[in-house]
Structure 1
Amino acid sequence: MDSSRPLVTVVTPSYNCAAVVPETLRSVQAQSFQDWEHIVVDDCSSDDSLEVIDAFCRTEPRTRFSRLNENSGAAVARNTAIEAARGRYIAFVDSDDLWHPEKMQRQLDFMAEREAVFACASYAKIDEDGKPLGEVQAPAQRQYHDLLKDNTVGCLTAVYDAQALGKVYMPLIRKRQDLGLWLRLLKKTKLVHGVPEVLASYRLRQNSISSNKASAAAYTWRLYRDVEKLPLPKAAYYFANYAVNGVLKQF
């Protein structure tokens, strides 16, 4: 294995996550697939996140971190890591989420079998204490217009082939930037393929940026209109689908 050119780059934005990020870092370190680098970019945390991450990096040379000069949001943090990435594949996990030990190996095998350049996987939901809250099943395949109706790609499971697609970055908006990236990728490749197996755990936190539904809806509309440049009727159609699907997920 050539450690100077890892096959996979794992991207993690960090903000005030000192209590949970060690478990995230260890979940990447525990992967059965070992040819990776892990880039953590801190978004000016005010807690002990930097000290915690630095201590981990001293014991795991494949993990490295940097700090933004000012609080800029997850899109800037992730894009900074993508810019520095050396791996063929770029994968994502947030600083409070967890990968299961076989996640990367199973996903790479899946992508190789299907000649896929963009893939996601099913994942579990857990609360702040790690208690199970159900599962989210990844659909077998989705296209651009499907994701406009309902974002079925969990960021903690997404992987794309930068050798095939080039480095693709997130739009610079505070929320829904992950969906913005998936849409950009689907303009380069027709499908995102879903691994049916649960390969990661998504932690639901009360103070997480994604927990504010009204704000997330506003950013979804902004993504449609300002980033994707959808005409008003199309934006309204897709937003209505997004809203209905969001309600259905509550049941």
Structure 2
Amino acid sequence: MNRTELSILIPTYNDCCVELVNSLAQQAMRLSGLSYEIIVLDDASNRPEVLLQAAYINELRNTRFVRRETNVGRAKIRNILTSMARYRWLLFLDSDMEIVSPDFLERYLQAPPEATVVHGGNCVQRDRLPHDGALKYRYEKAAEQTHDATQRNKQPYQQFNTSNFLVAKWVMEAHPLDERIQTYGYEDVLFGKTLRTAGIPILHIDNPVGFGTFESNCSFLAKTEEAMHTLFQYRKELVGYSNVLHTYAHLRRFRLAWLVRLLFLCAKKRMRTHLLSTHSSLFVFKCYKLGFYASLPHDQQQG
């Protein structure tokens, strides 16, 4: 192995991640010579049944479940996990993912030793459309077709996210996630930009974790709207890292942003009804995102 110590760090909020943790623990125990720990840090979940997992997780070898009393958000929770970690290599995983390969950990440990940030990617674990969660399923299924390692390495910083990546601890200590972002979305995109500015390369490999469950259309749409607010707030810093910003800039250049805003406000209710159905369209979803962003309070004289 190119790496012999590993802290596996799982931030969680209102998710049950027992199966994920158990899969990781089983793989880690089979790797001879590996010193490891698994830390699950709960960001003040408010579902009592989720907290029941703590007892099981704490019984696993080299594993602990820690619960915070106050919610601190997606960026700060990962920075806290960095400070809690014992080892030089950190593996961050979202708590709602599934391990899909028996050599998942070994692939990361065998990555080129000079790589200080390694992103493994995601995949969809089911071929049938879920009864609810059709929108999230279609979104991830479409992304999967163009997000293998070869494609992601063409734009390594823009294609980075924090759902599944290995990183040297010193990188996270020197370049923590931006804790200004306490709403949903784009903290990982800004982290990618930070790495680019610092000249730290990102290596993308094919070592995915899987989407096994999909949140409801209503939840996914609400998070999308929150992410558009986040994008609007940090739009100057995210130029070049968002297709929505790129498209909106073209609309403003041709004095069409006002028209998109007007059409969206007229069609918003019908678009939402469609997106909340089982027949939701990704094209309508993309139009909704752009329209929602355009409807935010930009300088009207420029739009």
TM-score norm. by structure 2 comes to 0.62
Superposed displacement of residue 85, structure 1: 1.1
Equivalent residue letter for 1:160:
V
- In 1, Cα distance between equivalents of 2:234 and 2:195: 15
Greater Rg over alpha carbons, structure = 2
Asked whether the 8 Å contact 2:79–2:172 carries over to 1, the reply is no
Give 2:190's aligned residue.
180
1:66-114 deviation per Cα after TM superposition (whole angstroms, max 9, x unaligned): 22221222223222111111121122111111233322221231232xx
Superposed displacement of residue 120, structure 1: 0.6
The number of residue pairs the alignment matches comes to 226
- Give the RMSD, CA atoms, in angstroms: 3.5
When residues 236 and 65 of structure 1 are mapped into structure 2, their CA distance, relative to the original with a 3 A threshold, is: closer
The DSSP-based 3-state class of the residue aligned with 1:40 is: strand
- Whichever structure has more helix as a proportion of its residues is 2
1:27-82 deviation per Cα after TM superposition (whole angstroms, max 9, x unaligned): 22132545321111111112222321232211x13111222221222223222111
Question: Would you say 1:158 and 2:165 are equivalent positions?
Answer: yes
The DSSP-based 3-state class of the residue aligned with 1:23 is: helix
Asked whether the 8 Å contact 2:7–2:38 carries over to 1, the reply is yes
The DSSP-based 3-state class of the residue aligned with 1:36 is: strand
Equivalent residue letter for 2:108:
Q
Question: Would you say 1:194 and 2:204 are equivalent positions?
Answer: yes
Asked whether the 8 Å contact 1:68–1:77 carries over to 2, the reply is no
When residues 190 and 164 of structure 1 are mapped into structure 2, their CA distance, relative to the original with a 3 A threshold, is: closer
When residues 169 and 204 of structure 1 are mapped into structure 2, their CA distance, relative to the original with a 3 A threshold, is: farther
Structure 2: runs of 5+ lacking an equivalent: 250-281, 287-303
When residues 126 and 43 of structure 1 are mapped into structure 2, their CA distance, relative to the original with a 3 A threshold, is: same
1:127-159 deviation per Cα after TM superposition (whole angstroms, max 9, x unaligned): 679x98743423235354xx1xxxx22423211
When residues 164 and 198 of structure 1 are mapped into structure 2, their CA distance, relative to the original with a 3 A threshold, is: closer
Equivalent residue letter for 2:20:
T
- In 1, Cα distance between equivalents of 2:204 and 2:86: 25
Equivalent residue letter for 2:69:
N
Give 2:246's aligned residue.
241
Asked whether the 8 Å contact 1:94–1:156 carries over to 2, the reply is yes
Question: Would you say 1:168 and 2:169 are equivalent positions?
Answer: no
Asked whether the 8 Å contact 2:189–2:241 carries over to 1, the reply is no
When residues 213 and 237 of structure 1 are mapped into structure 2, their CA distance, relative to the original with a 3 A threshold, is: closer
TM-score norm. by structure 1 comes to 0.73
Equivalent residue letter for 1:140:
N
Give 2:277's aligned residue.
none
Question: Would you say 1:137 and 2:137 are equivalent positions?
Answer: no
When residues 91 and 49 of structure 1 are mapped into structure 2, their CA distance, relative to the original with a 3 A threshold, is: same
The DSSP-based 3-state class of the residue aligned with 1:158 is: strand
Asked whether the 8 Å contact 2:42–2:65 carries over to 1, the reply is yes
Q: Which moved more, 1:116-125 or 1:155-164?
A: 155-164
Identity %: 20
Asked whether the 8 Å contact 1:121–1:158 carries over to 2, the reply is yes
Equivalent residue letter for 1:119:
V
Equivalent residue letter for 2:5:
L
When residues 31 and 248 of structure 1 are mapped into structure 2, their CA distance, relative to the original with a 3 A threshold, is: farther
Runs of 4+ in 1 over 6 A off after TM superposition: 235-238, 246-250
Equivalent residue letter for 2:201:
L
